């Protein structure tokens, strides 16, 4: 039998042969991620002065301020004489609506004398790196008081100036081509030189952009790229990462081609029987004469996951298009597809996808082929129930996700991203909010394929700032380009259902003037995509504010459940708001209400503190869910940030107000930075899944509510409490059943039923005796699910388990290996902290280790690490082009050595 791997190679080979057979001018997209040279100025060095622009001085800034601190006014700074901004602004010209706003490129060749941009510069002593690359993730962490980078940004060296260099060749065939550089994301203020010429750049690190390299190509075909990044300190409320942290491509096209993100597919009417498909295609003509081309378009199903099928399900009539010299031209077409295979979210529907294949024929020859994946689905927004997809109501069971991938940092990796989504789907997630910035493009391909709805977001700040050097510095100059770039890039993804123009921005506080800015941003989005609602998250704006009125739908953060309502918060300067879902629903009866941030509940996996609060939801204080000496939070899952609510409380509100379209929990995975409530740490406490990808107890609480038909029961806490014999040690059960009986060492502790608006079963009077805790959960009176926790003996060994034992030998694929510390009987030891060393034999590398402990300052690159609450994670990556067996060994002097065998194929 032919292996899937072989078939994949064959498919790839066929595509390559086809491409070369048709025409030398055919569009070609070349992966430009390998073999770069990298140099970052040390903190002690003064970097070169090739700056984008002057920045205000930041002075003393405390990065541990509460997330809902009121944003403040910008500090006005004069532009510098030596700033390169005038050469960078024209890079965004295609993303400015009005042509009079476009920037002229000034004369001159700034930076051309600087050695790093020159072809002859010897960069052999620079570090060799492959992209995507995050220069900060290996650390070291900054520890202690007043660190250079504080807990807010993850205590990692993401700040500073750095350079990337790479050579590429062009051949005689390219003389008639246009050559573009695509950068999916570079953190931040990237500026690109080619052969000593400043080509352009893009400041916002989360935007994808492309530059036309054609005018600067070397005659001899030997081209030298040099890219300068300058990532400001004190510029983010979370870990931004540093570097070219997403993919980079070289794209060759004919002089006439489909323009950048130049297709738009809209499905204005959809039913099971037929769908209308409207297509807009923008072509660009770089020739110096006007030309006529034939446009051929056809619609194909996706046969496998990645390739559109060969035979079209629909061919559109050919169009003759006249293109003026040097101009863009937009054509439109419309067609009907019978019995369309609709795209819909999992698990309710199937995420079927189609591809539009666009061919441009010029003088009888196909000179461009452009593939646009899309989906056919009907979205309805009904203020009384929420979101409907293909006429089915889909309650939003969402999470917020930042862009980092834990121990891998910001460097995008397809497998790591997919693993996150798989775990979230296992929990019952059907929607994700991209907090608070455009995601990697591949992530949206994954959400399309896996059937996950997406709230796609642009900015965390506008004119008003949250941190001294955040996006507000460039908002005035770049908001339109960044917003159009986001919408133009992502508009054909069926998974994207809404656009977010901001998160908790300071302009909520500024009455009509803030609302006017919102309207301006909304108009920009609507100009690019009239089909989806546009909104911004509101933690402060009230129902009667002009800001709320400016939104297409009402997107609340925390205030739906009420903010700081407990008596202890009386008199605080911070936000205090009564539960506000009804007020918004009444004031805006024509708008859907949803919660784009709920909870912000905290816990450290496997850590439990006593006594346990009897409340449904409580803030974290010493002795009350928290311990500020060890910087950990109890996992009874009852504690939240001061302005937030426990999961249980949020569920109660969702059930009480069924018009609310659903919630996006803050947040799915723990992320680097923003370690509220303990800024001495490196990463957050608010995930349902920890930074290493291990499930916290909260995972099961959400699963019990979000997957009611999936039989499950989960016991907390663990049952290793030497010294607590005879003491009250509450046991809580999360189950999708409605009733449960608890047994300790076989003795029933009673059978309890969930009351109305209750989401857990609390056995709060249990006293600890070592042994076994068991639960039998029931649903409708019938046995439904069980769980068991056993007191373990001392650590004696390790169990290694891989999420995938076979990986691709492409130099990118990963295996995530979990190490569980076990006792002599193989029972998991939940409080084990043994230090384990890892070695690897075979064609692969250990690229990171982690344990999910927010306080662990061991470098993620370290091959030696302490277990946290009994667990560790090792991430192994394949070597490019080297297949074979990989053996990972884990060693500890007392526990011996355990191994696991992986295959790279």
Selected binder of ligand GAL within 355, 446, 641, 807 (CB under 6 A): 641
Looking at the Cβ atoms of 34 and 62, the one nearer to ligand GAL is: 62
Closer to ligand GAL by CB, 600 or 792: give it. Answer: 600
> Of 738-797, which residues contact ligand GAL (CB under 6 A)?
none
Identify which of residues 101 and 574 has a Cβ nearer to ligand GAL in the complex. 574
Taking a C-beta distance cutoff of 8 angstroms, is the pair 153, 226 a contact? no
Cα Rg, the chain, nearest whole Å: 28
Tell me the residue nearest to ligand GAL as measured from the CB: 67
Residues within window 433-462 making contact with ligand GAL, judged by CB under 6 A? 435-436
Q: How far is the CB of 61 from ligand GAL (least distance, A)?
A: 16
Assigned token pair, 433: 């909010």
3-class SS shares of the chain: helix, strand, coil, % to 5: 15, 35, 45
Peptide bond into 677 cis (omega under 30): yes
Can you read off the two tokens belonging to residue 626?
A: 């928290």
Q: Which is nearer to ligand GAL, 36 or 558 (CB)?
A: 558
Residues 6 or more apart from 784 whose CB is under 8 A from it? Answer: 711, 713, 735, 736, 737, 777, 778
Name the residue nearer to ligand GAL (CB basis): 458 or 600. 600
**Residue 586: how many CB atoms within 10 A of its CB?**
9
Q: What is the DSSP letter of 572?
A: -
Nearer to ligand GAL, 285 or 600 (CB): 600
Least distance from ligand GAL to the Cβ atom of residue 98, Å: 32
Note if 504 is an active site residue: yes
Whether omega for the bond prior to residue 110 falls within 30 degrees of 0, making it cis, is: no
Tell me how far apart the alpha carbons of residues 408 and 113 are, in angstroms, rounded to a whole number: 36
The residues with which 556 forms a beta bridge, in sequence order, are 538, 595
Considering the complex, what minimum distance in angstroms separates the CB of residue 659 from ligand GAL? 23
The closest of 670, 703, 667, 699 to 685, measured between CA atoms, is 670
C-beta of 192 vs 641, nearer to ligand GAL: 641
Binding residues for ligand GAL, total number by CB under 6 A:
15
Helix (H, G, I), strand (E, B) or coil at 684: coil
The residue behind tokens 């649903």 is 779
Binding to ligand GAL by CB under 6 A, coded x per residue (else -) over 578-607, reads: -------------------x--x-------
Separation of alpha carbons 160 and 713, rounded Å: 48
Nearest approach in angstroms of CB 826 to ligand GAL is 39
Contacts of 326 (CB under 8 A, 6+ apart): 285, 286, 287, 288
Choice among 251, 504, 674, 705 that is catalytic: 504
368 contributes a contact to ligand GAL by CB under 6 A? no
- Closest to ligand GAL by CB, 359 or 400: 400
Catalytic residue among 457, 597, 674, 741: 597
Cα separation of 356 and 777, whole Å?
A: 50
539 counts as binding ligand GAL under rule CB under 6 A: yes
Q: How far is the CB of 686 from ligand GAL (least distance, A)?
A: 6
Could you tell me the two tokens for 367? Answer: 């000179």
In the numeric block, which tokens belong to residue 722? 């030497």
Pick 285 or 557: Cβ nearer ligand GAL: 557
Q: Please identify which residue in 285, 557, 632, 729 interacts with ligand GAL, judged by CB under 6 A.
A: 557
Alpha-carbon dihedral sign for residues 685, 690, 696, 700:
positive
CB half-sphere exposure, 95, CA atoms < 13 A = 26
Q: How far is CA 238 from the centre of its chain?
A: 13
Strands 379-382 and 386-389, bridge-based pairing: antiparallel
Task: Looking at residues 217 to 276 of the shown chain, list those that interact with ligand GAL (rule: CB under 6 A).
Answer: 237
In the complex with ligand GAL, which residue's Cβ is closer, 67 or 213? Answer: 67
Mark residues 178-217: x for contact with ligand GAL by CB under 6 A, - for none: ----------------------------------------
674 near ligand GAL, rule: CB under 6 A = yes
Nearest approach in angstroms of CB 68 to ligand GAL is: 5
480 is catalytic: no
Q: Which H, E and C letters describe 728-776, residue by residue? A: ECCEEEEECCCEEEEEECCEEEEEEECCCCCCCEEECCCEECCCEEEEE
Question: What crossing angle do the helices spanning 697-706 and 414-427 adopt, rounded to 10°?
Answer: 60
Backbone angles phi, psi at 538, to 5 degrees: -125, 115
**Measured between alpha carbons, how far is 485 from 450 in angstroms, rounded to an integer?**
24
Burial of 387 (0-12, 13-18, 19+ CB in 10 A): buried
The span from the CA of 67 to the CA of 85, in Å, is: 31
Distance CA(618)–CA(641), nearest Å, equals 8
Is residue 685 a contact partner of residue 676, using CB atoms and an 8 Å limit?
yes
Q: Interface residues for ligand GAL in 378-437 (CB under 6 A)? A: 435-436
* E strand or H helix that includes residue 40: strand 36-40
Give me the least distance between CB of 504 and ligand GAL, in Å please. 5
Closer to ligand GAL by CB, 597 or 690: give it.
597
Q: In whole angstroms, give the CA distance from residue 388 to residue 57.
A: 49
Of 728, 734, 773, nearest in space to 754 by CA:
734
Shortest CB 241 distance to ligand GAL, Å: 16
Please report which helix (H) or strand (E) contains residue 274, including its range.
strand 274-285
- Selected from 184, 504, 637, 850, the binder of ligand GAL by CB under 6 A is 504
Torsions phi, psi for 456 (to 5 deg): -100, 125
CB of 664 to ligand GAL, least distance (A): 11
Q: Report the residue number, 600 or 632, with the smaller CB distance to ligand GAL.
A: 600
Q: From the list 53, 68, 123, 404, which residue makes contact with ligand GAL (rule: CB under 6 A)? A: 68
Residue 237 or 588: the one with the smaller Cβ distance to ligand GAL is 237
The distance of closest approach from Cβ of residue 348 to ligand GAL in the complex, given in angstroms and rounded to an integer, is 29
CA distance 702 to 426: 10
Q: How far is the CB of 644 from ligand GAL (least distance, A)?
A: 6
What is the smallest separation between the CB atom of 596 and ligand GAL, expressed in angstroms? 8
Lay out the site mask for ligand GAL across 73-112 (x = CB under 6 A, - = otherwise).
----------------------------------------
Per CB under 6 A, contacts with ligand GAL among 134-163 are none
Question: How far is the C-alpha of 547 from the C-alpha of 502, rounded, in Å?
Answer: 12
Bridging pattern class, strands 190-194 and 197-202: antiparallel
**Least gap, CB of 108 to ligand GAL (angstroms):** 41
Catalytic residues: 504, 597
**Residue ranges binding ligand GAL (CB under 6 A):** 67-68, 237, 435-436, 503-504, 539, 557, 597, 600, 641, 666, 674, 676
């Amino acid at each position: 039998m032919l292996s899937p791997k072989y078939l994949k190679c064959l498919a790839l080979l066929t595509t390559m042969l086809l491409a070369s057979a048709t025409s030398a001018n055919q569009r070609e997209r070349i992966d430009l991620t390998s073999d770069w040279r990298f140099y970052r100025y040390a903190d002690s060095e003064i970097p070169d002065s090739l700056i984008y622009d002057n920045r205000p001085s930041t002075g003393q800034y405390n990065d541990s301020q509460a997330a809902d601190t009121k944003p403040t006014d910008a500090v006005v700074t004069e532009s510098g004489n030596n700033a390169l901004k005038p050469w960078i602004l024209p890079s965004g010209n295609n993303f400015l609506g009005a042509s009079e706003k476009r920037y002229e490129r000034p004369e001159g060749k700034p930076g051309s004398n600087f050695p790093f941009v020159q072809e002859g510069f010897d960069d052999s002593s620079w570090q060799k790196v492959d992209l995507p690359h995050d220069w900060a993730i290996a650390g070291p962490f900054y520890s202690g008081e007043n660190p250079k980078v504080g807990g807010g940004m993850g205590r990692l060296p993401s700040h500073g100036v750095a350079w990337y260099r790479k050579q590429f060749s062009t051949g005689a065939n390219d003389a008639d081509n246009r050559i573009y550089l695509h950068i999916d994301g570079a953190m931040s203020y990237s500026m690109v030189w080619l052969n000593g010429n400043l080509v352009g750049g893009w400041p916002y690190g989360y935007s994808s952009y492309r530059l036309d390299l054609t005018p600067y190509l070397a005659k001899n075909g030997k081209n030298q790229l040099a890219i300068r990044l300058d990532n400001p300190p004190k510029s983010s409320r979370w870990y931004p990462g540093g570097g070219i942290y997403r993919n980079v491509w070289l794209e060759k096209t004919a002089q006439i081609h489909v323009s950048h993100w130049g297709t738009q597919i809209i499905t204005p009417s959809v039913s099971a029987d037929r769908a209308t498909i409207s297509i807009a295609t923008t072509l660009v003509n770089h020739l110096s004469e006007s030309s006529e081309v034939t446009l051929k378009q056809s619609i194909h199903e996706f046969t496998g996951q990645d390739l559109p099928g060969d035979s079209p399900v629909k061919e559109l009539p050919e169009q003759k298009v006249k293109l003026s010299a040097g101009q863009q031209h937009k054509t439109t077409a419309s067609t009907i597809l019978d019995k369309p295979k609709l795209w819909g979210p999992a698990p309710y529907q199937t995420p079927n996808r189609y591809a539009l294949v666009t061919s441009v024929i010029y003088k009888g020859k196909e000179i461009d082929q452009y593939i646009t994946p899309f989906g056919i689905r009907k979205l309805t927004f009904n203020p009384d129930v929420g979101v409907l997809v293909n006429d089915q109501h889909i309650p939003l069971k969402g999470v917020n996700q930042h862009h980092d991938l834990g121990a891998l940092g910001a460097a995008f990796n397809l497998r790591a991203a997919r693993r996150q989504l798989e775990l979230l789907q296992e929990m019952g997630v059907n929607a994700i909010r991209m907090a608070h910035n455009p995601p990697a493009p591949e992530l949206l391909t994954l959400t399309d394929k896996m059937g996950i709805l997406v709230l796609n977001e642009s900015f965390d700040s506008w004119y008003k700032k949250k941190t001294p050097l955040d996006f507000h510095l460039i908002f005035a100059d770049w908001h339109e380009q960044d917003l159009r770039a986001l919408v133009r890039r992502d508009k054909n993804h069926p998974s994207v259902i809404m656009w977010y123009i901001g998160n908790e921005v300071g302009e909520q506080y500024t009455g009509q003037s803030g609302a006017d800015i919102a309207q301006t941003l909304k108009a920009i989005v609507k100009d690019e995509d009239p089909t989806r609602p546009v909104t911004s998250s509101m933690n402060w704006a009230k129902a009667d504010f002009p800001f709320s009125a400016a939104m297409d739908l009402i997107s609340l953060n925390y205030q739906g459940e009420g903010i700081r309502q407990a008596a202890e918060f009386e008199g605080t300067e911070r936000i205090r708001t009564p539960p506000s879902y009804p007020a918004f629903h009444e004031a805006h009866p024509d708008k859907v209400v949803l919660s784009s941030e709920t909870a912000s509940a905290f816990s450290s996996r496997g850590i439990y503190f006593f006594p346990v609060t009897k409340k449904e939801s409580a803030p974290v204080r010493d002795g009350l869910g928290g311990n500020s000496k060890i910087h950990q939070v109890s996992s009874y899952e009852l504690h939240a940030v001061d302005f937030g609510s426990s999961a249980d409380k949020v569920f109660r509100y969702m059930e009480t107000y069924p018009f609310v379209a659903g919630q996006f929990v803050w947040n799915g995975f723990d992320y680097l930075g923003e370690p509220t409530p303990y800024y001495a740490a490196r990463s957050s406490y608010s995930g349902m899944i920890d930074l290493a990808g291990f499930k916290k107890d909260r995972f099961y609480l959400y699963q019990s509510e979000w997957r009611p038909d999936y039989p499950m029961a989960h016991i907390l806490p663990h049952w290793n409490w030497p010294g607590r014999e005879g003491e009250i040690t509450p046991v809580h059960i999360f189950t999708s059943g409605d009733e449960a009986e608890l047994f300790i060492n076989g003795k029933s502790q009673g059978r309890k039923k969930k009351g109305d608006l209750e989401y857990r079963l609390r056995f709060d009077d249990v006293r600890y005796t070592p042994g076994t805790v068991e639960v039998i959960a029931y649903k409708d009176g019938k046995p439904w699910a069980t769980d068991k926790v056993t007191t373990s003996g001392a650590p004696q060994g390790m169990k290694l388990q891989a999420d995938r034992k076979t990986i691709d030998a492409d130099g990118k694929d990963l295996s995530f290996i979990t190490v569980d510390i076990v006792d002599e009987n193989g029972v998991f030891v939940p409080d084990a902290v043994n230090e384990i060393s890892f070695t690897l034999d075979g064609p692969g590398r250990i690229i990171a280790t982690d344990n999910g402990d927010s306080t662990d300052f061991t470098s993620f690159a370290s091959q030696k690490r302490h277990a946290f609450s009994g667990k560790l994670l090792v991430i192994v990556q394949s070597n490019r082009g080297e297949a074979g067996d990989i053996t990972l060994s884990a060693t500890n002097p007392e526990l011996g050595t355990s191994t696991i065998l992986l295959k790279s194929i």
